[in-house]
Chain A
């Protein structure tokens, strides 16, 4: 185990997979721009290339390179840039295998930072992973720790399906203990970050840290929260979530996205469908308000989930909040 930042863990995984498998390519925006680039030095210009700011070409080329036998990792820099090439992400990559009756696989990874705040305003702060849960054929990973950042990226590269991999910019420099050598985190296995019997908090990506802090505060009030990090949205480990709800009877969901169409809404629906009889109170979702993210700090804080909002939501579902709160 070594303590390294989240972003270094992602790079470690890509580097390791490129060493292990000659068919892994790494191309995209803002990489390998100088001869000193460590990927370029290690793997050369055939496998590591800077591309123009041409998202449709980048992602479309990844599809084509995958069809031709390679495993590209596409650096998109920011998740919103995927939206420029939505057809390739949603309508091409995940459907190719299906339309050809299984003749080909499309193993590629779309690496994108998401949910940046800190004043990046309306078009560089989107939490858009939820959009992709409804796309059959597309895997979705959202690491919340450095160890998972490494393990999920390595798994993503080895997966024979297209994977959208969302890392949170505010976690970039967050250090964490990361296993040395090969480290694979399986898709579809949620992590129980904290055990507790009173309430289940399911938190996604960057929200996991907020949920953990909230759980510590709640412990001071005698409330034991179980914090679950799904780690991948597709496949989604509903089994772990349902089992936790069976134990606690209470569910709070924390998602940085706006609620409608979010991962939080999907999980709430699944629990209502499959785990309704275990619930002793309505499900509570802590999400961004239905708004574009504003630039100015107090408005941004107002929009987004926070530790306080999570604590308040837990208190509410446990019936400890004052009436009308």
Chain B
């Protein structure tokens, strides 16, 4: 694991700012350009530190797979944010040509092998990619991201068993935001109900299980980095439980045609009537928290931080403009990629 020098720390903050600003613009689109975004989007605001800390451990040939809450990862990998926004807008210029949308951002050239829109189903796929990496013998590692809800699926258990049995070069990163759509983890998870961290599930598969503060990108980097080192050296997988708090609701709401989409209030308030929990989470927002730390530590100046934020805003406004101005695909292109 490489040491994080000041340049790298500033780079990490820059990526967090870019992810946050990208998602702010996705959210803003619902009001500013009604009807442009169709279907669902699922934001990861609050998980930026976890995403960036994890991806900062990657070497150029490493790979990852994620869930449908997928906007953050390609931003860190260097994917063109214009193409990403255009994809969410269903445009011809989109990252996937308008075939995938918000839930299926994929950039294979940069190692982002794809997503599943179905809970937990990407876990065996990432495990298969790790099998491929193992037999290719080029030292690649696969990062597999999923939520706490996924750990109740058979796909999770089956995959962790095989990965540990075969000592595959994979790190399972559970972004535990404590909500499964509108259900709290302790309502559906035996470990959570017993007051245990979900990382204890690793014990059943004879692999290390560690819990980390997903709001601290340096802590995530160190924890995931140790797991990546272990995977790369052939010792097998680790389950990392990264505790995050998503600051938006699960996703925007499915509505009948003609009624604008919107994001509801966070489940802590709307479902559980607990605004205190949500307010506390807002006060712990990892983006200003990391900014404050870097400024306080003298890693960057407040002016530099402002410039980074402004630069992210400018970039994402350009992405929105590009997405809005881009043409829609030709209807008859709809059957183009069914078969190879």
Q: Which residues of A contact B (CB under 8 A)?
A: 25, 46-47, 49, 51-52, 54, 56-70, 72, 87-88, 91-92, 96-105, 107, 136-137, 159-161
A contact residues around B95 at 8 Å (CB):
101
Given contacts A46-B135, A100-B100, contact A60 B118 (CB under 8 A): no
Q: Which residues of B contact A (CB under 8 A)?
A: 63, 65, 94-100, 104, 106-108, 113-114, 116, 118, 121-136, 154-155, 158-159, 161-162, 165-166, 336-340
The 4 closest A-B pairs by CB, nearest first: A60-B124, A64-B128, A61-B128, A160-B340
B104 near A100: Cβ-Cβ < 8 Å? yes
Which residue of A60, A65, A70, A101 contacts B337 across the interface (Cβ within 8 Å)? Answer: A101
A contact residues around B127 at 8 Å (CB):
57, 60-61, 64
Assembly CA distance A161 to B97 (angstroms): 20
**Closest-CB distance, B104 to chain A (whole angstroms):** 4
**Closest-CB distance, B60 to chain A (whole angstroms):** 15
A contact residues around B132 at 8 Å (CB):
64-65, 68-70
A contact residues around B98 at 8 Å (CB):
101
A-B interface contact total, Cβ < 8 Å: 143
**Closest-CB distance, B79 to chain A (whole angstroms):** 12
A contact residues around B162 at 8 Å (CB):
51-52, 54, 57, 61
B contact residues around A159 at 8 Å (CB):
340
Assembly CA distance A161 to B285 (angstroms): 44
B125 near A67: Cβ-Cβ < 8 Å? yes
A57 near B155: Cβ-Cβ < 8 Å? yes
Assembly CA distance A49 to B136 (angstroms): 15
In the complex, the chain A residue whose C-beta lies closest to that of B161 is: A52
A contact residues around B94 at 8 Å (CB):
101
In the complex, the chain B residue whose C-beta lies closest to that of A59 is: B124
Given contacts A47-B135, A69-B132, A70-B132, contact A97 B125 (CB under 8 A): no
A contact residues around B134 at 8 Å (CB):
46
A65 near B338: Cβ-Cβ < 8 Å? no
Given contacts A54-B158, A57-B158, A60-B125, contact A68 B63 (CB under 8 A): yes
B155 near A56: Cβ-Cβ < 8 Å? yes
Assembly CA distance A25 to B132 (angstroms): 10
A contact residues around B114 at 8 Å (CB):
67, 96, 99-100, 104
B99 near A100: Cβ-Cβ < 8 Å? yes
B contact residues around A103 at 8 Å (CB):
96, 106-108
**Closest-CB distance, B338 to chain A (whole angstroms):** 5
A64 near B129: Cβ-Cβ < 8 Å? yes
Assembly CA distance A69 to B99 (angstroms): 22
**Closest-CB distance, A150 to chain B (whole angstroms):** 23
**Closest-CB distance, A321 to chain B (whole angstroms):** 43
B contact residues around A64 at 8 Å (CB):
65, 113, 124-132
B contact residues around A136 at 8 Å (CB):
338
A88 near B340: Cβ-Cβ < 8 Å? no
A161 near B161: Cβ-Cβ < 8 Å? no
Assembly CA distance A105 to B338 (angstroms): 10
B contact residues around A63 at 8 Å (CB):
124-125, 128
Assembly CA distance A137 to B123 (angstroms): 22
Assembly CA distance A161 to B136 (angstroms): 22
Assembly CA distance A20 to B3 (angstroms): 45
**Closest-CB distance, B257 to chain A (whole angstroms):** 23
**Closest-CB distance, A96 to chain B (whole angstroms):** 6
A contact residues around B113 at 8 Å (CB):
64, 67-68, 104
Further contacts, 6 of them, CB under 8 A, given A61-B127, A105-B340: A54-B158, A60-B124, A60-B127, A67-B108, A137-B339, A160-B340
Assembly CA distance A153 to B96 (angstroms): 31
B121 near A60: Cβ-Cβ < 8 Å? yes
In the complex, the chain A residue whose C-beta lies closest to that of B333 is: A101
Assembly CA distance A88 to B158 (angstroms): 13
Which residue of B129, B161, B166, B339 contacts A68 across the interface (Cβ within 8 Å)? Answer: B129
B124 near A61: Cβ-Cβ < 8 Å? yes
Given contacts A92-B125, A99-B104, contact A57 B161 (CB under 8 A): yes
Given contacts A60-B128, A68-B63, contact A97 B154 (CB under 8 A): no
Assembly CA distance A233 to B61 (angstroms): 39
Assembly CA distance A96 to B161 (angstroms): 25
Assembly CA distance A98 to B337 (angstroms): 5
Assembly CA distance A173 to B167 (angstroms): 38
B contact residues around A56 at 8 Å (CB):
121, 124, 154-155, 158
B133 near A68: Cβ-Cβ < 8 Å? yes
B96 near A100: Cβ-Cβ < 8 Å? yes
In the complex, the chain A residue whose C-beta lies closest to that of B134 is: A46
In the complex, the chain B residue whose C-beta lies closest to that of A66 is: B128
Given contacts A54-B162, A98-B338, contact A104 B108 (CB under 8 A): yes
B contact residues around A60 at 8 Å (CB):
121-125, 127-128, 155, 159
Residue of B107, B114, B128 contacting most chain A CB atoms (<10 Å): B128
